[in-house]
Amino acid sequence: MKVLVSDAVAQSGVELLQKEFNVDVKVNLDPAELIKIIPEYDALVVRSETKVTKEVLEAAANLKVIGRAGVGVDNIDVEFATKKGVIVLNAPEGNTIAATEHTMAMMLALARNIPQAHASMKNKEWKRSKFMGVEMRGKTLGILGLGRIGTGVAKRALAMEMKVMAYDPFMNAERAEELGIKVAEIDEILTKADFITLHLPKTPQTINMLNKESFAKMKKGVRIVNCARGGVINEVDLAEALKDGTVAGAAIDVFAKEPAGPDNPLLDVDNIVLTPHLGASTAEAQVGVAVDVAEGIIKALNGEPVTTAVNMAPIPAHVLETIQPYLNLAEKMGCLAVHLADGRINAVEVEYNGEISEVDTKMLTTGVIKGMLNPILQEKINYVNAPGLAKARGIKIKEVKSQEIDNFADLITVNVHTDKGLKSVSGTLFGREEQRIVKINGFRVDVEPNGWLLIGPHSNRPGIVGKIGTILGEEQINIAGMQVGRGDIAGTNIMVVNVETDVPTPVLLKIKAIDGMLGAQLVNLNA
């Protein structure tokens, strides 16, 4: 077996590979050089410099695995690698400690005005009273996102005798309480926390999550830390909140646009600590990702399961032939179900009826979980890590199978159990190709699961659907499809509208305010 390391990685990772395989380290290869030599290698190790394109993969006659010494795999054509049967793996945990510790360092620097005091001292000044700080002991820390890094921050904050409350829709309340963390909703954290730290991915749901309205809800003198993703805080609104004293201070490591340009509004604020995306920039983190990716490659080349693979694990050909048409549908059903769910998820039950129940459906169930977790978690969700991430949040997963059929040859139903009740979505294929959602919370529908869906239960009375159409038309939002489904509850229907663009929050609120509407939910199934 031969391994090519085409980017600079920590030597410890290279040495680990050298114990098992023949390893060549050739950095700064241009695309033509890489394409020329890649046929002789079984594995490739990259960071972000090497671009593993379709052309490289087509030339890689013997390639079995690509390892990314880091988290992001944007420089790898994962889709084409999967088609060629090449495993793509990364190192999602190698920088966890670095990011966790940087968050704590930023929080402490913010509390004690350390950067400002240092700058003053370098100017030959001695102004003790100017840099009066606050203690963290006894303060309430609000954590938005309780993944690996968020949990690590919570543990350290508890050791510093802080009170910790956290929001994470996938963290089971009992599991959080075992860690000493109080589970809370976002608004409760905004109103009660002395410090707020974000550990959320950047998604359509989290962009500008903290904005002018959020800051207005916060306790006077709150301090905010963001070492997660740029864009989840509205930088213009944060700058104003810092200037007018609504927010006492902020510590920011990530920015909406990087590198942060001279026009970034946060650069003109005094009561802020800024670093240039240093969350993973430690010698140990670089060693960690190199070792992690080396261990993954060793397992892959030895035919062992790879827990850090970002693409689908191999499954028997006859099983894949049966379930492959359902994989995309399963993910979309999971995405739709989690958006409909109200409260904290305790369990997910996936029912298989008809012929689909006769094969191994674990991959489909994993697809459902992947679709549920992907819109909200900061981690990159794949078919390997989705079950573990669900388990870590106390979500119980169960499959139920039956060959009995009702109106469909095959039917998949996702039941999401929360502390506030049950939500369900059923789907099937028409002609093994056309994906359809056929039930939502017991209401019979026929929905193509693509793009934006506006979903609204409502009273069965004239005029409601027309009013919704009028509102959308006035806002220049085009309707691609609309239907009304009936359920078991007399006098109640559900409306599903396929819209071609996002529906802004003010428009959604206007729809919810229509007399007879029992709610309105917008879901983007292509996000």
Task: List, for residues 83-134, the tens digit of each pLDDT value.
Answer: 787 889 998 888 889 999 999 999 999 999 999 999 999 999 999 999 999 9
CA 31, chain centre distance (Å)? 32
**Rg of the chain taking only CA atoms, in angstroms:** 25
Q: What is the CATH number of domain 442-527?
A: 3.30.70.260
Residues with active-site annotation: 229, 258, 277
Residues 11-28, buried b or exposed e (16+ Cβ, 10 A)? eebbebbeeebebebeee
Whether residue 348 has pLDDT greater than 90:
yes
Q: What percent of the chain has pLDDT over 90?
A: 64
Residue 175, token pair as written in the block: 């599991």
Q: CATH 3.30.70.260: which residues of the chain?
A: 442-527
The model's pTM is: 0.69
The C-alpha torsion from 312 through 281 and 94 to 370, rounded to 10°, is -40
Choice among 1-15, 49-63, 293-307, 309-323 with the minimum mean pLDDT: 309-323
For residue 296, report the phi and psi dihedrals to the nearest 5 degrees.
Answer: -65, -40
In the chain, CATH 3.40.50.720 covers 2-94+284-301, 96-274
Quick one: average pLDDT of 338-350?
A: 90
The mean pLDDT of 152-167, rounded to a whole number, is: 97
For residue 316, pLDDT beyond 60:
yes
Look at residue 19 and tell me whether its pLDDT is greater than 80: yes
Tokens 């087509």 correspond to: 58
Separation between Cα atoms, residue 349 and residue 340, nearest integer Å: 15
Asked if residue 384 has pLDDT above 70, the reply is no
Q: Above 90 in pLDDT, residue 178?
A: no
Residue listed under structure tokens 């049950």: 422
Question: 13-17, 28-32, 82-86, 437-441: lowest mean pLDDT where?
Answer: 82-86
Taking residues 422-444, report their average pLDDT.
Answer: 91
Q: Which of 94-103, 219-228, 374-383 has the lowest mean pLDDT?
A: 374-383
Per-residue model confidence (pLDDT) at position 48: 81
Residue with tokens 């380290």: 25
At residue 403, the pLDDT reads 85
| Residue scoring higher pLDDT (48 or 457) | 457
Which phi and psi angles does 29 have, rounded to 5°?
-75, 140
Q: Which residue has the higher pLDDT, 393 or 194?
A: 194
pLDDT greater than 60 at residue 160: yes
Q: How many helical (H) and strand (E) elements, i.e. helices and strands, does the chain have?
A: 17, 22
pLDDT of residue 312: 65
CATH architecture assigned to 2-94+284-301: 3-Layer(aba) Sandwich (3.40)
pLDDT at 240 exceeding the cut of 70? yes
Kindly report, as residue ranges, where domains of CATH 3.30.1330.90 are found in the chain: 312-439
Residue 314 is predicted with a pLDDT of 54
Superfamily of domain 312-439: D-3-phosphoglycerate dehydrogenase; domain 3 (3.30.1330.90)
Give how far the C-alpha of residue 114 lies from the chain's centroid of Cα atoms, to the nearest Å: 33
Q: Average pLDDT for residues 261-290, to the nearest whole number?
A: 93
Domain 96-274: state its class: alpha beta
* The pLDDT value given to residue 379: 64
Q: Within 10 Å of residue 384's Cβ, how many Cβ atoms? A: 20
Which residue's entry shows tokens 């789907």? Answer: 427
In the predicted model, is pLDDT for residue 315 greater than 70? no
Rounded to an integer, the average pLDDT of 427-451 is 90
Q: What is the mean pLDDT of the chain?
A: 90
Is there a contact between 380 and 324 (Cβ–Cβ < 8 Å)?
Answer: no
Report the pLDDT averaged over residues 246-265. 94
The pLDDT of 443-449, averaged and rounded, is: 91
In this prediction, residues 255-280 reach a mean pLDDT of 93
> What confidence score (pLDDT) does residue 306 get?
79
Residue 342: partners with Cβ closer than 8 Å, 6 or more residues away:
418, 420, 421, 423
Choice among 88-102, 308-322, 454-468 with the minimum mean pLDDT: 308-322
3-state helix, strand, coil in the chain (%, to 5): 35, 25, 40
DSSP bridge pairs for 396:
347
